[in-house]
Structure 1
Amino acid sequence: MISEFSGNIANAYDLTVIGGGINGVAVASEAASRGLSTLLVHSRDLASGASAPPVSLAAHNLQALSALDLFQLTNQLDEIKHLQQVAPHLIDLLPVQQLNGEMANHERPRLVQRIFKHLRNRSLSASTSSSSAGYNIVARIKPARMVISLALEAQHHGANIVTYHRVQSAERYEKHWGLTLESSQSASRTYHVNSRWIVNCSGWLANDVLEQVLKVQTRAKATAEFRTQFFFRNPLKHDPAARKIFKIRGNRLDFHVYHATDDILAFGPLKCDQEGYAECIDIQQEFLEAWNNSPELEQHARKLTGEDILYKRRGNIALIHDPCGNDDTPLTVPLLDIDNPGSKAVLMNIFGAEPILAQKTARQALDALQVFTGKKAHSERRKRALPGGDIPTSSMTDFLVQLSTAHPLLPVKLVHRLARNYGQLATRILQGVASEQDLGIHFGNMLYEREVEYLVENEWARCAEDILARRTFIYLSSDKKILLRLSEWFAERRNKKQDSATKSAEQ
């Protein structure tokens, strides 16, 4: 169990991971599972970067085959199937359809598109229902929850996960790094740590960490690309909460629309070159026109207006300028770079991030470092479920029914949200709960004190935004009153802890 950070940082570690995005937690989990004493340091909350949106699609575009990279495509498909086995609550394999439910395969794709779709559908169709035969199959994943699950797994293996702290300075010695860590919330709180090796997983900020903190120059460079994800009110008329993926054709773009929650749909992230949150207004307008002009709209969904757009999540996606390529062709798949001057401690940099490939990237990184660490991967580790992934039923659908049956006096919508968010860990939140009164304070939008306490004690949540934006995603459909109530709860909790500490000191 964890709570607010208590300063429990050791003086020395085998490996320090800088960055708490999808790559960082995957590397920390892999390293700790191999028996390396591991520290992960992140200046903000986990899953606060661009690699961890609440929900996104995987392997749905032609990125891998645009360079005829069949190897990367196969990797993505293998990792999708693996995630379905070890964390079924974090992934859905869904057919791409039109609003009327018919398959969205009527266009005549180019040869490379047909190859991509054939390989993807052949690989994934065995995991979908027979009613999806002939449809394009796409994976809907939850990167932010993946980050938390991998961090929990890393902690289970012994890693120390330290949020809201940054590496303020570093000295490179022959056999280790000397690091000074500083609290992001109090500059007076510093810690000195020795680490034999460092893995830099800072995403699009990798260059800043390298040059300003670690004082290292490398061949590869990280760069950022603005991409925006749009969230809007669910306008579907029939079975609106059933998870689906729709393809909506615009004049310039095709939009893949998918469920973020029961009540909210999303599309993107899409590249936006304009600055500020007024950016991508042209994309938003094209989407609204495409949706409202869909021939199947009248019977299956209502029209949308700009007021239905609830939130735009903009993130700086980490791209890579390959030292063997040029600035016109940045890479998106992760690139490993080892800096080993021979007479100084080793540094590895991971440039770029692809959530579905994070665990494979971590295995490759630790395999590359094995010549220094001497630690091999455990053959059985890959077969183990991620925290929450060990559901006791054969499918998520059956698990939803089982959990709802076990708590008949709770709203079905609440039970389903908890099951989809936490998997088997939802049973810990609901342990001993018979009615809503047992859940404690109701902050609004079916967020109760029992869930908040679980997140504070077990998932590194430190403030209201951590819970609303990166654990439950209730912020997508909540008002400011929930944020205010939750912020007051955290303030009262801190005051109680301070009063308790004062009384203990006086005694």
Structure 2
Amino acid sequence: MTSDKVYDLLVIGGGVNGAGIARDAAGRGLSVLLCEKDDLAQGTSSRSGKLVHGGLRYLEYYEFRLVREALIEREVLLNSAPHIIWPMRFVLPHNAEDRPAWLVRLGLFLYDHLGGRKRLPGTRSLNLRTAPEGAAIKPEFSKAFEYSDCWVDDARLVVLNALDASARGAEVLTRTACTTLRRGNGLWEAELTSLLTAKKRQVQARVVVNTAGPWVNDVIGRVAGLNSARNVRLVKGSHIIVPKFWEGQQAYLVQNPDKRVIFINPYEKDMALIGTTDIPYEGRPEDVAADQSEIAYLLKSVNRYFKQQLSERDVLHSFSGVRPLYDDNAENPSAVTRDYIFELDDAGGQPPLLSVFGGKITTFRKLAEHALDRLKPFFPAMGPAWTAKGFLPGGDMPNADFELFLGKMRARYPWLPARLLKHYARLYGTRLERLLSGCERMEDLGFCFGPDFYEREASFLMETEWAETAADILERRTKHGLHMTADEREVFEAWCAERRIAA
């Protein structure tokens, strides 16, 4: 049966763009239904390099508008979610074989000034023979540049947007696919199918927003039965995780002879995240995985610069994602634009379908604003843009000062070990008070599944953040899975299965 309620927006796709649009629209007074065929952020949005950055290398492709927008957004996001986004310094060893020093300096000068930088420190030059940041670098590299960008927990960024959308009235359905879309009676009529129960639900919406990422053309063609003049270009990016092999909290950015750059970032306290590759991808997005040639490429890039030489034996984990870039016909995958494009299909006064091609995590909030700008003619009473000054859930800390907040939480929860408290503060921000409501001692946290991982947190994620499976919690809501043994994971998976049966 068709639902009695008519939604203003049906958003298809629960990645960062879909969650961002749902949040912005709900905050402007629109009724919103977001459906995601898997878990939130299960696709591209949890498989990034975990950076909120302007995109230094995009300057070489003259993407000045995109870089400027991303640099402005970098500080907006830093203010909105200081628990999951924080500053990081990047050391770029200079290699004259790849780029002349003057070109690197020019790029960094533009990077410092294009976006009206306020909070982050600017670029400086380093003598790697005397600076502590050079201790891990081979002696033939004597000069480096250090600049600022930001780290982000990408999957949590998506979940927090969905949480805020829900708090503002949006309905969020995970593991629910939009299986058919048809226009009728001046509305979109959609069939939604639960992938858990196979139950079908009929809904109506005034506008459909297609943020399906790698599946954007599939929604247009197979689901809606329409044609598109635009195409998404799938580019595969892979990362590896190894034990951290240098001292200090700085990250590194190294250049390759093929003009690509590789990020080497501190990760999860004692690990390093290395990536990414840029390879055309033709397979199913669901099947993407890092292959041996990519792993070898990343290791070779690191070994070119660092004293400690890595081998495949050092690789603890790998993951790969498919970037759904707008196909601008560039021959080099690295040169394909990271900008976003909208396609609005409302021919002949038909109910609109707005499809999103491309984009990057850093610009998701601005993309959402621009998407709703395109939809203003259909919702003249829609409220104004608001997210530039808004906080994401847990981010409402005075002066966006995480360390000050952490100090207050230490005083409030003196019984919590410092490392565990910081884990809760980083993932949940001010929401940790809800997580710990009623807890006064360690025993109140319940069974311990692994390092810093207690039953209380797992239950909280299932009750408040749409987590249903062990992977939802271990890989996306948290990164506990990186620190657990196979036996510990097996125990937790059994706990999740029992809880689902009980529910």
Q: Which TM bucket (shorter chain)?
A: 0.7 to 0.9
Which amino acid counterpart does residue 353 of structure 2 have in structure 1? L
The equivalent position to 1:367 in structure 2, one of 373, 386, 391, is 373
The equivalent position to 2:220 in structure 1, one of 210, 215, 218, is 210
TM-score normalised by L of structure 1 = 0.85
State the shift of 1:21 in Å: 0.4
Is the CA contact 1:60–1:139 (under 8 Å) kept in the aligned structure 2? no
Q: Distance in 1 between matches of 2:296 and 2:153?
A: 27
Corresponding position: 1:235 with 2:245 = yes
**Aligned with 2:498: secondary structure?**
helix
Is the CA contact 2:262–2:274 (under 8 Å) kept in the aligned structure 1? yes
Which amino acid counterpart does residue 364 of structure 1 have in structure 2? H
Which amino acid counterpart does residue 39 of structure 1 have in structure 2? L
State the shift of 1:386 in Å: 1.0
State the shift of 1:251 in Å: 6.0
State the shift of 1:19 in Å: 0.2
Q: Distance in 2 between matches of 1:147 and 1:42?
A: 12
The equivalent position to 1:116 in structure 2, one of 107, 110, 124, is 107
Is the CA contact 2:10–2:205 (under 8 Å) kept in the aligned structure 1? yes
State the shift of 1:249 in Å: 5.5
What is the aligned partner in structure 1 of residue 77 from structure 2?
83
Is the CA contact 1:169–1:214 (under 8 Å) kept in the aligned structure 2? yes
Q: Distance in 1 between matches of 2:390 and 2:63?
A: 29
Is the CA contact 1:13–1:194 (under 8 Å) kept in the aligned structure 2? yes
**Aligned with 2:177: secondary structure?**
strand
| Residue-by-residue CA offset, 1:127-182 (whole Å, 9 max, x unaligned) | 23699797311222222111011101111111000000101112112511111111
Which amino acid counterpart does residue 304 of structure 2 have in structure 1? A
Q: Distance in 1 between matches of 2:255 and 2:388?
A: 39
What is the aligned partner in structure 1 of residue 136 from structure 2?
none
**Aligned with 2:186: secondary structure?**
coil
Q: How does 1:9-408 map to 2 (within 5 A)?
A: 11-53=5-47, 56-59=50-53, 61-97=55-91, 104=93, 109=100, 113-122=104-113, 123=115, 126-128=118-120, 135-187=146-198, 189-236=199-246, 238=247, 243-248=249-254, 254-272=261-279, 277-290=291-304, 293-294=306-307, 304-322=310-328, 330-378=336-384, 380-392=386-398, 395-408=401-414
Is the CA contact 2:55–2:70 (under 8 Å) kept in the aligned structure 1? no
Is the CA contact 2:208–2:352 (under 8 Å) kept in the aligned structure 1? yes
TM-score normalised by L of structure 2 = 0.86
Q: Distance in 2 between matches of 1:30 and 1:335?
A: 18
The equivalent position to 2:501 in structure 1, one of 479, 495, 499, is 495
**Aligned with 2:74: secondary structure?**
helix
What percentage of aligned pairs have identical amino acids?
Answer: 28
The 3 A distance-change label for structure 1 pair 284 and 120 is: closer
**Aligned with 1:119: secondary structure?**
helix
Aligned length: 469
The 3 A distance-change label for structure 1 pair 129 and 370 is: closer
**Aligned with 2:169: secondary structure?**
coil
| Residue-by-residue CA offset, 1:371-398 (whole Å, 9 max, x unaligned) | 0121444355431211111124652222
State the shift of 1:447 in Å: 0.9
State the shift of 1:308 in Å: 2.3
**Aligned with 1:315: secondary structure?**
strand
State the shift of 1:71 in Å: 1.8
The 3 A distance-change label for structure 1 pair 340 and 451 is: same
**Aligned with 2:276: secondary structure?**
strand
**Aligned with 1:256: secondary structure?**
strand
State the shift of 1:40 in Å: 0.4
State the shift of 1:207 in Å: 0.9
The equivalent position to 2:416 in structure 1, one of 393, 403, 410, is 410
Is the CA contact 1:148–1:459 (under 8 Å) kept in the aligned structure 2? yes
The 3 A distance-change label for structure 1 pair 482 and 342 is: farther
Is the CA contact 1:318–1:332 (under 8 Å) kept in the aligned structure 2? no
Q: Distance in 2 between matches of 1:379 and 1:13?
A: 20
Is the CA contact 1:204–1:352 (under 8 Å) kept in the aligned structure 2? no
Is the CA contact 1:33–1:378 (under 8 Å) kept in the aligned structure 2? no
Q: Distance in 2 between matches of 1:267 and 1:411?
A: 30
What is the aligned partner in structure 1 of residue 489 from structure 2?
483
State the shift of 1:443 in Å: 0.8
What is the aligned partner in structure 2 of residue 5 from structure 1?
none
What is the aligned partner in structure 2 of residue 448 from structure 1?
454
State the shift of 1:95 in Å: 1.9
- RMSD of aligned Cα (Å): 2.7
**Aligned with 2:365: secondary structure?**
helix
Greater displacement, 464-473 / 341-350? 341-350
Is the CA contact 2:23–2:165 (under 8 Å) kept in the aligned structure 1? yes
**Aligned with 1:433: secondary structure?**
coil
**Aligned with 1:51: secondary structure?**
helix
Greater displacement, 139-148 / 155-164? 139-148
What is the aligned partner in structure 1 of residue 134 from structure 2?
none
State the shift of 1:28 in Å: 0.6
Q: Distance in 2 between matches of 1:135 and 1:288?
A: 18
Q: Distance in 2 between matches of 1:106 and 1:448?
A: 47
| Residue-by-residue CA offset, 1:233-272 (whole Å, 9 max, x unaligned) | 2233x45xxx421234666564321122112210213224
The 3 A distance-change label for structure 1 pair 442 and 312 is: same
State the shift of 1:27 in Å: 0.8
Consecutive unaligned residues of structure 1, counting only runs of 5 or more, are 1-8, 99-103, 298-302, 498-507
Is the CA contact 1:272–1:279 (under 8 Å) kept in the aligned structure 2? no
Greater displacement, 20-29 / 133-142? 133-142
**Aligned with 2:348: secondary structure?**
coil
The 3 A distance-change label for structure 1 pair 65 and 200 is: same
What is the aligned partner in structure 2 of residue 505 from structure 1?
none
What is the aligned partner in structure 1 of residue 142 from structure 2?
none
Is the CA contact 2:54–2:70 (under 8 Å) kept in the aligned structure 1? no
Q: Distance in 2 between matches of 1:36 and 1:268?
A: 39
State the shift of 1:327 in Å: 6.4
